[in-house]
Structure 1
């Protein structure tokens, strides 16, 4: 059974520490910004940032990161795991223009980083992140005394 997990990219504003002299309305303003971004963010994101959507899902043995990168050559894709983050960089060339796309996703610690694999087929990049043995679900037998 696969589970789909929606990943949203953190807002830059949410990474800035709270200021001491905040307005009493600041919390309401932040919440309104968050609501509008979560509702309309997917429509505006392609025009505002060189990012691309990713899907995260898992089964009992692996976690998967799936990214649609149509029009990108396999040689123009770079995948790295550094400090618990999976970073995907891609370059798309179209006529006389070159577009650089990038995305970083936080990966749980229960992944075997040395066994991560990636495949690219029909414009879809799939990164396979094998789970460590202790992170895999195990069936526990119940004995009767």
Structure 2
């Protein structure tokens, strides 16, 4: 059964006196259609897997859990500021493709990126450029 929800514009005392009452309607309708159609569009994309991003003073790390994927079935690329991880996993007769791209800051030494895969966890190490690393500055007393 479909339900019709009436959109009402919130009223407040003179905060938005000159604002058009229809201003938020377009984005609200877009959000409604995106959430309603998300399940229909999902099979068209390759399944995504979660990644963790963290950093220390020298490196940025991207960590992805890829259980059941062999090391040979993983491809890692760095192109135009994006780190792309692609993997394939076989389960019986079926083969699943996984793909994820992560925007990486420009402050990374792309030629020194390394990747390690151990116990189903891929860790990509992205060394920071020297000028980006935090530098301790001594304060002298006069």
TM-score bucket (shorter structure)? 0.7 to 0.9
Q: Which runs of 4+ in 1 moved over 2 A?
A: 27-34
TM (norm. structure 1) is 0.71
Is 1:59 paired with 2:71?
no
The gaps in structure 2 that reach 5 residues or longer are: 1-21
Mark the structure with the bigger radius of gyration.
2
Aligned length, in residue pairs: 115
**Residue deviations 1:87-106 (CA, integer Å, cap 9, x gap):** 00000011000000000000
The gaps in structure 1 that reach 5 residues or longer are: 1-22
Shift of residue 27, structure 1, vs aligned partner: 2.3
Whole-Å Cα distance in 2 between the matches of residues 92 and 27 of structure 1? 38
TM (norm. structure 2) is 0.72
Whole-Å Cα distance in 1 between the matches of residues 60 and 84 of structure 2? 15
Is 1:119 paired with 2:113?
no
The alpha-carbon distance between structure 1 residues 105 and 33, as it changes in their structure 2 partners (threshold 3 A), is farther
> What pairs with 1:101-112 in structure 2 (closer than 5 Å)?
101-112=98-109
